[in-house]
C-alpha cells in the first residue's frame, strides 16, 4: 500500500502558497520585512547605547584624572593640604572627598545617568510642599550646592562653606544642616546632637535655632526617610563645663525647644568645646552599635579654648566611631586671633567686643600693621573667608563642614574659585610645624607675625598744630618719640623676614608665597615711610616753614611720590614695590592682593600741606594768649562736666 506524503501544515508551505490569495502572500512578506527591520533597529540602538555609555565613562575617567592632577599642581609639594575633606563618617583611617557641592563619585554617577537616560531624571522622589517657613527640598538642595540665584561665595571642595555670603546667616546654615540630616537618613537611621555654646554673646543665635527647630523636623518627617524612629535628637551645652539637656536621644524634638531657649548664660568666658565633643562620643558609642549615624552640630561664635589639650583626641575619637562634626560659627579675621561680636547693653547702645575667633591658621601668618598714610577702609577687620583653624579642622577630618553664619567685614567678597587654591593647612599641628621648620622663609614669617602681635607697632601722627613756632616744635618733639619706637620695631621685623629671604623661592604653596611677599613688602614700605617721616620732622623742627595762607594754622604730612632720602632708602622703596606688585600680579582677587594694592598705590614719600583747622588757634597767636585761651577752654569743659550726671562705669561681659 503506497503512502501519499501529506503536505506540511502551515501557511507558508508550498501548497498553501500556491493556493492562497495574492493579498495574503503580500501581507506575509511585508510582515517579515517589518520584523527584520525592527530587529536591525534594536541592534543598532543597543550598540549606540553601549557606545554612549562607554564614551561617558571614558570622559568621566579623563575628567577625574585631570581634576586629580590639577589638585596636585595647585599645591605642589609635600606640605600642601588636600582641598577636600579626607575622612568619611563611617570609616577610620580611610578618606573620601566630602563637600557641599558633591564629590567626584557624585559627578560620575550623574554623568553615567545622563548617558543612559539622556539627562532625564529617573525614580527620583521629591517633596515640594513641606509646610511654611522652609524651602522645598529641591530648592534647599539647589541652595546648598551653590547653584541658586542667591548663592554666595561657597568654597567648593573646601571644609568651609560661607552661608553668610548668601545673606541667609543662621537660617541658611540650619537649612544646610537639614539637608545633611536628610542625606544621612537616606543611608541609615541617624542621631543628631546639637551642641550649644553657652556664651553670653550667643543667646540670639540659640533663640534663632530654637525658632526653626520645629519646622526643620517637620520637613524631615515629611520626607519619610527611614521610617519611625529613624531620626533621634539630643542636645547639650558647653562653656566652662558640659551638660546634656536630655538623658537619652528623643524622637520628638518639641520637648527640646523650651530647653534650648532656657540655656543659661555662662559668664566665665570659657568655651571648652573639644572636651564636650569627647564626652558626646563617649556617651553615644552604643548608638553606633545600633548601626545609626551620628552627626554633631556645634553652635558657637568663637574658636574654643581647649584645642591644645583636646583637639587631636577629639578628632581621633570621632574618626574611629565614624561621627561627623559640623559647626555654625563666625569667620576668622584675616590673619588675626581676635574677632568682634556686637554686644547690646540693656540701655540700648551697642559696642563691639573682642572675642577669640581666630586665626584661620595654626599661627597668624600675616603682620599686624596699620596703614601709614593714604586713605581707605579698615582692612584690619577683613574676613579670611574661613572659620578658626581648630573647629574647621575637626569638621574637615570627620567629613563635616564649618558653616560661616557671620562675617565681620560686610563689603569684601572673594571668588571661591580663586580662594580654593589658598585654603589653610589643616594637617595636625605637629605636621604644620614640620612644614614651617623645613623652610626658613616660612619660619621667619611666623616669628615676624608674632612680633607684631606682641609689640604693638604704632602709627605716628601726621598733623601738627602751628599757631606759633614754639608749639610746632613742641608737637614735633612729642611725635618723634613714638616714631623712633616704631622705627626700632619695624627694623626688627624686617630683619627677621630678610633672614628667610633666600629660601623664599623654595616655597611652593600659593598661600605661603602670598603671605611672605606681602609681609616683607609691607615691612620694607613701612621702613621707607618712617625714615622719610623722621627726616621731614627734623627739617621742619630745625627751620619751620612759613604759611602761604594767613588763615592756615596747622601743618599736615601727606604721601608723596618724591622720596626725600638717600640712595639706600630709594633702594628699599624699589624692593618694597617689587614685592607688593608681585603679590598683586600673582595673587589677584585675594586678601593678600587687596592689602598689597593699598600699600602699593600709597606713595612712600612725604610732603607738607598747610591747612586751616578751626579747632586750633589762629597762626601767630602769642604764647600768653594761647595759654589764656587754653585755660578758658579747660574751665568751660570742667563746668560742662559738672552739670552732666555721672554715668556708672559699666563692666564689660566676658564673651
Cα–Cα distance, 411 to 383 (Å, whole number):
10
Instruction: Give the model's pLDDT for residue 72.
Output: 33
Cα–Cα distance, 288 to 267 (Å, whole number):
35
Instruction: Give the model's pLDDT for residue 172.
Output: 84
**pLDDT tier at 375, thresholds 50, 70, 90:** confident
At residue 62, φ and ψ (nearest 5 deg) are -65, -45
Cα–Cα distance, 647 to 345 (Å, whole number):
14
With a cut of 80, say whether residue 36 has pLDDT above it: no
Q: What tens digit of pLDDT does each residue of 518-540 get?
A: 999 999 999 999 999 999 999 99
Cα–Cα distance, 221 to 249 (Å, whole number):
16
Q: How large a percentage of the chain has pLDDT more than 70?
A: 70
Instruction: Give the model's pLDDT for residue 278.
Output: 97
Cα–Cα distance, 104 to 395 (Å, whole number):
20
Instruction: Give the model's pLDDT for residue 373.
Output: 87
Instruction: Give the model's pLDDT for residue 646.
Output: 65
Torsion of CA 258, 260, 266, 271, to 10 degrees: 170
Widest CA span in the chain: 163
CATH architecture of 158-367+376-423: 3-Layer(aba) Sandwich (3.40)
Q: What is the mean pLDDT of the chain?
A: 77
Cα–Cα distance, 449 to 522 (Å, whole number):
12
**pLDDT tier at 572, thresholds 50, 70, 90:** very high
Q: What tens digit of pLDDT does each residue of 281-318 get?
A: 999 987 777 788 999 999 998 999 999 999 999 999 99
Q: What tens digit of pLDDT does each residue of 431-480 get?
A: 999 999 999 999 999 999 999 988 788 899 999 998 888 889 999 999 99
Instruction: Give the model's pLDDT for residue 397.
Output: 95
Domain boundaries, the chain: 39-65+103-119, 158-367+376-423, 439-640
- Better-scored residue on pLDDT, 20 or 240: 240
Instruction: Give the model's pLDDT for residue 226.
Output: 60
Q: What tens digit of pLDDT does each residue of 181-197 get?
A: 999 999 999 999 999 99
With a cut of 90, say whether residue 633 has pLDDT above it: no
Torsion of CA 540, 542, 546, 551, to 10 degrees: 60
H or E, element range at 519: helix 510-542
Are 315 and 395 in contact by the 8 Å Cβ rule? The answer is no
For residue 422, give Cα distances in angstroms to 74, 269, 359, 381, 587: 9, 32, 15, 19, 10
Q: Residue 209: which residues within 8 A CB-CB, separation 6 or more? A: 170, 174, 194, 260, 299
Q: Half-sphere exposure of residue 428, counting CA atoms within 13 Å on the CB side?
A: 9
Q: What tens digit of pLDDT does each residue of 492-507 get?
A: 999 999 999 999 999 9
- Nearest in space to 237 (alpha carbons), one of 305, 300, 306: 300
Q: What tens digit of pLDDT does each residue of 57-103 get?
A: 444 344 333 333 333 333 323 333 332 333 333 333 333 333 333 33
Predicted TM-score (pTM) of the model is: 0.73
Q: Residue 194: which residues within 8 A CB-CB, separation 6 or more? A: 209, 233, 234, 235, 236, 256, 260, 297, 299
**pLDDT tier at 111, thresholds 50, 70, 90:** very low
Amino acid at each position: 500500500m503506497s503512502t501519499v506524503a501529506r503536505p506540511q501544515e502551515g501557511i507558508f508551505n508550498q501548497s498553501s502558497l500556491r493556493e492562497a490569495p495574492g493579498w495574503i502572500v503580500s501581507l506575509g512578506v511585508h510582515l517579515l520585512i517589518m520584523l527584520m527591520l525592527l530587529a536591525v533597529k534594536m541592534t543598532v540602538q543597543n550598540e549606540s547605547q553601549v557606545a554612549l555609555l562607554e564614551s561617558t565613562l571614558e570622559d568621566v575617567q579623563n575628567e577625574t584624572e585631570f581634576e586629580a592632577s590639577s589638585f596636585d599642581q595647585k599645591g605642589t609639594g609635600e606640605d600642601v593640604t588636600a582641598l577636600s575633606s579626607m575622612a568619611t563618617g563611617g570609616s577610620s583611617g580611610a578618606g573620601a572627598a566630602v563637600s557641599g557641592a558633591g564629590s567626584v563619585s557624585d559627578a560620575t554617577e550623574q554623568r553615567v545617568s545622563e548617558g543612559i537616560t539622556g539627562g532625564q531624571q529617573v525614580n527620583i522622589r521629591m517633596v515640594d510642599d513641606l509646610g511654611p517657613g522652609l524651602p522645598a527640598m529641591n530648592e534647599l538642595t539647589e541652595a546648598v550646592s551653590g547653584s541658586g540665584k542667591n548663592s554666595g561665595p561657597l568654597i567648593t571642595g573646601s571644609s568651609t562653606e560661607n552661608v553668610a555670603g548668601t545673606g541667609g546667616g543662621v537660617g541658611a546654615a540650619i537649612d544646610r544642616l537639614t539637608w545633611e540630616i536628610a542625606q544621612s537618613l537616606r543611608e541609615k537611621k541617624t542621631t543628631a546632637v546639637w551642641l550649644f555654646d553657652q556664651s553670653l554673646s550667643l543667646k540670639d543665635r540659640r533663640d534663632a535655632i530654637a525658632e526653626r527647630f520645629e519646622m526643620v523636623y517637620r520637613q524631615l518627617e515629611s520626607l519619610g526617610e527611614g521610617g519611625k524612629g529613624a531620626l533621634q535628637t539630643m542636645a547639650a551645652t558647653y562653656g566652662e563645663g558640659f551638660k546634656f539637656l536630655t538623658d537619652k536621644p528623643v524622637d520628638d524634638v518639641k520637648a527640646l525647644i523650651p530647653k534650648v531657649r532656657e540655656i543659661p548664660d555662662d559668664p566665665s568666658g570659657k568655651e571648652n568645646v573639644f572636651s564636650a565633643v569627647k564626652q558626646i562620643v563617649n556617651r553615644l558609642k552604643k548608638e553606633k552599635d545600633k548601626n545609626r549615624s551620628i552627626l554633631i552640630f556645634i553652635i558657637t561664635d568663637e574658636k574654643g579654648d581647649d584645642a591644645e589639650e583636646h583637639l587631636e583626641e577629639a578628632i581621633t575619637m570621632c574618626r574611629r566611631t565614624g561621627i561627623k562634626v559640623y559647626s555654625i560659627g563666625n569667620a576668622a579675621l584675616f590673619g588675626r586671633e581676635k574677632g568682634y561680636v556686637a554686644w547690646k547693653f540693656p540701655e540700648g547702645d551697642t559696642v563691639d567686643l573682642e572675642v577669640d575667633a581666630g586665626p584661620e591658621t595654626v599661627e597668624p601668618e600675616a603682620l599686624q600693621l596699620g596703614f601709614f598714610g593714604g586713605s581707605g577702609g579698615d582692612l584690619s577687620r577683613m574676613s579670611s573667608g574661613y572659620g578658626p583653624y581648630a573647629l574647621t579642622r575637626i569638621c574637615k577630618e570627620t567629613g563635616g563642614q564649618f558653616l560661616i553664619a557671620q562675617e565681620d567685614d560686610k563689603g569684601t567678597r572673594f571668588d571661591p574659585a580663586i580662594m580654593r587654591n589658598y585654603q589653610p593647612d589643616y594637617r595636625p599641628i605637629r605636621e604644620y610645624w614640620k612644614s614651617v621648620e623645613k623652610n626658613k622663609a616660612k619660619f621667619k614669617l611666623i616669628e615676624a607675625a608674632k612680633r607684631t602681635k606682641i609689640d604693638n607697632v604704632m602709627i605716628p601722627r601726621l598733623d601738627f598744630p602751628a599757631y606759633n613756632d614754639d608749639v610746632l616744635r613742641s608737637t614735633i618733639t612729642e611725635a618723634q618719640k613714638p616714631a623712633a619706637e616704631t622705627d626700632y620695631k619695624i627694623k626688627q621685623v624686617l630683619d627677621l623676614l630678610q633672614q628667610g629671604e633666600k629660601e623664599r623661592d623654595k616655597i611652593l604653596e600659593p598661600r605661603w608665597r602670598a603671605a611672605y611677599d606681602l609681609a616683607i613688602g609691607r615691612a620694607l614700605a613701612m621702613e621707607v615711610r618712617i625714615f622719610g617721616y623722621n627726616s621731614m620732622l627734623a627739617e621742619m623742627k630745625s627751620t619751620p616753614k612759613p604759611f602761604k595762607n594767613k588763615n592756615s594754622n596747622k601743618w599736615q604730612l601727606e604721601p608723596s611720590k618724591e622720596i626725600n632720602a638717600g640712595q639706600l632708602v630709594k633702594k628699599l622703596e624699589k624692593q618694597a614695590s617689587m614685592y607688593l606688585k608681585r603679590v598683586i600680579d600673582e595673587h589677584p582677587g585675594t586678601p593678600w592682593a587687596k592689602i598689597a594694592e593699598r600699600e602699593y598705590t600709597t606713595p612712600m614719600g612725604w610732603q607738607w600741606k598747610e591747612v586751616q583747622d578751626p579747632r586750633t588757634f589762629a597762626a601767630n597767636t602769642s604764647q600768653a594768649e594761647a595759654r589764656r585761651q587754653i585755660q578758658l577752654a579747660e574751665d568751660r569743659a570742667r563746668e560742662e562736666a559738672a552739670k552732666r550726671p555721672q554715668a556708672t562705669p559699666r563692666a564689660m561681659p566676658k564673651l
